[in-house]
Structure formats: C-alpha cells, structure tokens
C-alpha cells in the first residue's frame, strides 16, 4: 500500500516537473521569434484577411489622427477569422510595447510598429503642458527651431530637460512644441542619417522625408509632423504637401 502510494506520488511529481520544463521551453521558443518575423506573420495575416473580407482589420480612427498612426491593427479581427494563431509577444495587446500599424494601405501596404515608450513619454509631457496652460500660463515655449516650432521650456513645467531615446539608432532626440501646444519629437537628425545611408543628398523638396525612416526601419515616426528638404536639411513643417 505504501509502495503504491509512493509510486503515485513520484508519478505526480514527474508530471509536474515535466510540465514545468515544457512550459519555459514553449515560452523561450516564442521569445526567440524576432520582431521582423512577427511583422512578416502579421503582414501575411492582414493580406489574407483583406482577401477574404475586402476590408482591413483596423481599429476606428478620426480625421485628426496623424497619418502614420491612423491604421492600428485590430488583432481580435484577425483571431476571429483564424488568420493568425496568437498575438505577437511584442504587441501592446499581449503586454508588449508596440502597436502594429498599417502604412500605405491603398498602395504598397506594409506592417510597421509604433513605439509606445516614445508615445508614453510624449503623452506625459503633453499632459503637463495642458495642465500648465489650463492654470492660466502661456505655452512653455523655448528657443525657436523653425517657424511655429519651439524647444520645450521644461523649467516652466517644473521638470528637468527631457530627450527621447530614438528607435532608429542610439541617438537621443529633442522634444518640440508647436505653437498650437502639440508636443512632438524632433526627427530631423534621424532623417538626415537615413538620407545619408542611401546616398541621397538632394531629395525631392515636395516629398515628406519621414518616408525614409519608415522604409529603412520597422518603426513609424510616432508623434511627428511632416519634414521637407529646405536649405540643405530636413525641416519640420505644419503643412502637408499634396
């Protein structure tokens, strides 16, 4: 009787140990999938979904939503149609730090990522700015960078100067404020690097240069305005050229 009980207890322990070994291996296998591989998987799923339904699996947005942030992928729609088996581990919906977005949905559709760490930092500064102005203060404008765009005067907001760690390189990028009060990232240094990388020294002045960041990276330039080539450098603009 005792021997039978010991054998049963030993068997249970072995099952528990085996399950404990298998689960981490399964998790490790998922974690070993690179961001690039996830993007390919989602790209195929989105294309299949569109072929079957005629529409894109996206969340609702407004006319005011910035261009590159407009087409957020709705993973529930992909799961419901069984065109994807699980949500990517790096997606916000799975506890990750990225939104998956669609770029150029009517043309050469591509899947890209929106970095939520950057978006969160900008959101925090925006909230402080809005509260500061709501208290009867003027916008915390610092040095003029380009017409309508300024560095943020962080001292007025009661905080230390803050920069954004770039998703494109090891650079730290400045934070700008538009005269409307909108807080954005200064992507000019990264755009210049992207142009240099492909050997372009005189780009079309009517082309939004943010496209070069998107082409060369998995990430969109979140919290940004258009950039155009002017006076031998990328210049931020509040105007979107046709």
pLDDT tens per residue, range 90-146: 999 999 999 999 999 999 999 999 999 999 999 999 999 999 999 999 999 999 999
Would you place residue 242 in the very low, low, confident or very high pLDDT band (cuts 50, 70, 90)? low
Handedness of CA 208, 210, 216, 218 (dihedral sign): negative
pLDDT at 27: 41
Helix (H) or strand (E) holding 236: strand 233-236
Confirm if 186 and 175 have CB atoms less than 8 A apart.
yes
**Which pTM does this prediction carry?**
0.85
Give strand ranges (E) for 80-195.
Answer: 98-103, 110-115, 141-146, 149-152, 164-165, 172-173, 175-178, 183-185
Task: Work out the average pLDDT over 184-197.
Answer: 98
pLDDT at 232: 96
Would you say residue 165 has pLDDT above 50?
Answer: yes
Task: Name 173's Cβ contacts closer than 8 Å, sequence gap at least 6.
Answer: 163, 164, 165, 166, 185, 186, 187, 189, 190
Would you say residue 81 has pLDDT above 90?
Answer: yes
pLDDT at 85: 96
Say what percent of the chain tops pLDDT 90.
Answer: 83
Strand partners, 178: 149
Confirm if 116 and 99 have CB atoms less than 8 A apart.
yes
In a 3-state reduction of DSSP, which class is residue 183?
Answer: strand
Would you say residue 7 has pLDDT above 60?
Answer: no
């Amino acid at each position: 009787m005792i021997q039978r009980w010991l054998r049963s207890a030993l068997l249970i322990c072995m099952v528990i140990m085996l399950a404990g070994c298998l689960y981490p291996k399964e998790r490790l296998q998922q974690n070993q999938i690179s961001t690039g591989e996830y993007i390919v998987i989602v790209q195929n799923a989105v294309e299949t979904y569109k072929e079957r339904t005629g529409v894109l699996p996206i969340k609702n947005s407004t006319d005011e939503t910035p261009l590159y942030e407009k087409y957020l992928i709705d993973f529930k729609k992909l799961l419901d149609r069984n065109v994807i088996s699980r949500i990517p581990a790096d997606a916000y919906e799975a506890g990750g730090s990225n939104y998956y977005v669609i770029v150029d949905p009517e043309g050469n559709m591509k899947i890209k990522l929106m970095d939520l760490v950057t978006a969160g930092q900008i959101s925090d500064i925006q909230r402080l700015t809005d509260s500061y102005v709501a208290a009867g203060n003027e916008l915390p404008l610092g040095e003029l960078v380009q017409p309508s765009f300024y560095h943020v005067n962080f001292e007025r907001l009661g905080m230390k100067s803050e920069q954004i760690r770039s998703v494109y390189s090891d650079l730290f990028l400045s934070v700008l404020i538009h005269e409307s009060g909108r807080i954005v990232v200064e992507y000019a240094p990264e755009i210049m690097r992207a142009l240099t990388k492909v050997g372009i020294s005189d780009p079309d002045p009517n082309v939004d240069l943010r496209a070069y960041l998107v082409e060369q990276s998995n990430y969109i330039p979140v919290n940004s305005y258009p950039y155009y080539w002017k006076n031998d450098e990328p210049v931020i603009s509040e105007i979107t050229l046709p």
